[in-house]
Amino acid sequence: MKYKNILLSFFTIILYCFIICISCYASQNTANTISALSVKGNQIVDENGAPIQLKGISTHGIAWFPDYINEYCFKELKQKWGINVIRIAMYTAESGGYCTDGNKEYLKNLVKKGVDCATKCDMYVIIDWHILSDGNPNTYIEESKAFFDEMSKKYCNQKNIIYEICNEPNGNISWNDIKQYAEQIITVIRKNDPNNIILVGTPNWSQSVDKAAENRIKDFNNIMYTLHFYAATHKQELRNTMKNALEQCLPIFVSEYGICDASGTGQIDIQQSNEWIQFLNQNHISYVMWNISNKAESSAILKSDCKKTSGFTQNDITDTGIWLYEMLTNTYTSHIPDTSQNIQNINNVSNDLQVHMNMINHWQQYTKYYYQYDITIINNGKNKINNWNISIPFDSTITLINSWNGIFTMNQNQINIHSMDYNAQIEKGQSITNIGMIISSDTKIYQ
């Protein structure tokens, strides 16, 4: 009898373990929204064959602006700006370039960090071999083979990877030269990774998609050709070239564009930019904007005095950034209330406490706007923190609708949050997550 009971308990435990394993597995799978991509006709489709459009942003050269590769930044761009792809641009030849004087291991680790952050955020990620001053991709073909061999071995089991094998061929180089290069690199990648999409640059700084349409790469699946535009320079004529190529069923991916001129700075052209986006949307073409950095140039989405690498507010963003934000979130408006003080204030509560606040949802009901925030508090200090208190000022009049995992009080337009008993203590290096609130406002709030 005793043995029977022991045996019964043993089997019950085994059964519980089994159920727990199954539910962990199921929850892991449902959390992930990444679907394997493939190319059908001139379109990208998901696992169910439904057309899918990727919209995103490119880093600047990672050798120069490595700090934007962080999970908070990517998460914010995804949740607040609505992007689903990030491009990691690794220059091959400029100063600090991978094939010139750059530190290869350091740069590769940055690429890997970028892929990891994007993966954690459930985003697609483009690994960009950013040729530019080295106009002919064959110049560093051996380095490229070794690089893509390593990357495709490492990431062959991930569905969110896209390989871009030559950013912008330019100068005295024909499509045939590019094609020969591409076929060799694609062979290397396909040995390891049979499916993920590969983007191939086209002549004349990735504009001559017509040349690729005349003589496309055969024998491989899931290959796309890139077209790049800068709206203040490239207008209807380039759209016509693209339209013709699409009509010939060439799969095109706009892996880089700007709303300024081709130098990456100067005037921005909103009207042309809107025409481009309308054209791309009509054709379900994916597009990735150049660039997330605070470099003093008009293609950058952050102002040069913005030193943050996440937690951006209205005041941190350039005109290009505002256009991008409004275009992606479909909130074209001439004025977004300025809440620039907010994040700074909450970040400065104590030098040891870092606060990340992300708007993870927003909606409108009648004349009111609703915003849901997710807050994380990190103890960056040397000592344990025994309780915490943060305050978040808003520029407009807001109403607190709901809140959790903190004691929330309102003082005019400021929300104060005090720790609960169960989350008051933060060990050094640790963080408290899942603090949240929903507020409403009569005006739109950027933050």
**Would you name the residues annotated as active-site residues?**
168, 256
Residues 55, 78, 179, 228: which binds ligand IDC (CB under 6 A)?
Answer: 228
Q: Which of 72, 98 has the CB closer to ligand IDC? A: 98
Asked if 98 touches ligand IDC (CB under 6 A), the answer is no
Task: Report, in Å, the least distance between residue 96 CB and ligand IDC.
Answer: 11
Asked if 262 touches ligand IDC (CB under 6 A), the answer is yes
Query: Residue 312 and residue 314: Cα distance in Å, rounded?
Result: 7
Q: How many CA atoms lie within 13 A of 267 on its CB side?
A: 6
Task: Report, in Å, the least distance between residue 155 CB and ligand IDC.
Answer: 23
Residues numbered 295 to 314 that lie near ligand IDC (CB under 6 A) are 295, 297, 299
On whether the CB atoms of residues 250 and 42 are closer than 8 A, the answer is yes
- Distances, alpha carbon 341 to alpha carbons 77, 96, 311, 349, 393, in Å: 20, 35, 11, 13, 8
196 phi/psi in degrees, rounded to 5: -60, 150
Contact window for ligand IDC (CB under 6 A) among 72-80, 260-268, 352-360, 436-444 = 260-268
Task: Give all strands (DSSP E) within 276-352, no chain letters.
Answer: 287-292
Residues 55, 63, 69, 94: which binds ligand IDC (CB under 6 A)?
Answer: 94
- Distances, alpha carbon 306 to alpha carbons 244, 282, 315, in Å: 42, 35, 9
Strand (E) or helix (H) holding 276: helix 270-282
Q: Which of 129, 205 has the CB closer to ligand IDC? A: 205
Q: Which of 62, 166, 191, 168 is nearest to 117 (CA)?
A: 62
User: Which residue in the shown chain puts its C-beta closest to ligand IDC?
Assistant: 264
Task: Give all strands (DSSP E) within 380-430, no chain letters.
Answer: 389-393, 398-404, 407-411, 414-418
Residues 63, 132, 223, 390: which binds ligand IDC (CB under 6 A)?
Answer: 132
Contact window for ligand IDC (CB under 6 A) among 34-42, 116-124, 237-245, 293-301 = 293-301
Residues 129, 287, 290, 323: which binds ligand IDC (CB under 6 A)?
Answer: 290
Task: Report, in Å, the least distance between residue 171 CB and ligand IDC.
Answer: 13
Q: Which of 264, 337 has the CB closer to ligand IDC? A: 264
Contact window for ligand IDC (CB under 6 A) among 109-117, 154-162, 292-300, 340-348 = 292-300
Q: How many CA atoms lie within 13 A of 410 on its CB side?
A: 13
Residues 27, 180, 263, 278: which binds ligand IDC (CB under 6 A)?
Answer: 263
Asked if 76 touches ligand IDC (CB under 6 A), the answer is no
User: 355-374 mask for ligand IDC (x: CB under 6 A)?
Assistant: --------------------
Q: Which of 205, 312 has the CB closer to ligand IDC? A: 205
User: 141-170 mask for ligand IDC (x: CB under 6 A)?
Assistant: --------------------------xx--
Residues 264, 337, 381, 393: which binds ligand IDC (CB under 6 A)?
Answer: 264
Q: Which of 175, 205 has the CB closer to ligand IDC? A: 205
Give the residue ranges of DSSP H helices in 104-228: 104-120, 141-155, 175-192, 203-206, 209-214
Q: Which of 168, 395 has the CB closer to ligand IDC? A: 168
Strand (E) or helix (H) holding 28: helix 2-31
Q: How many residues bind ligand IDC (CB under 6 A)?
A: 15
The answer for residues whose C-beta is within 8 angstroms of residue 26's C-beta and 6 or more apart is none
If 0-12 CB within 10 Å is exposed, 13-18 middle and 19+ buried, where does residue 221 land? exposed
Residues numbered 376 to 415 that lie near ligand IDC (CB under 6 A) are none
The answer for residues whose C-beta is within 8 angstroms of residue 191's C-beta and 6 or more apart is 149, 152
Residues numbered 19 to 58 that lie near ligand IDC (CB under 6 A) are none
Query: Residue 222 and residue 251: Cα distance in Å, rounded?
Result: 9
290 DSSP β-pair partners: 58
Question: What does the binding site for ligand IDC look like in residue numbers (CB under 6 A)?
Answer: 94, 132, 167-168, 205, 228, 230, 256, 262-264, 290, 295, 297, 299
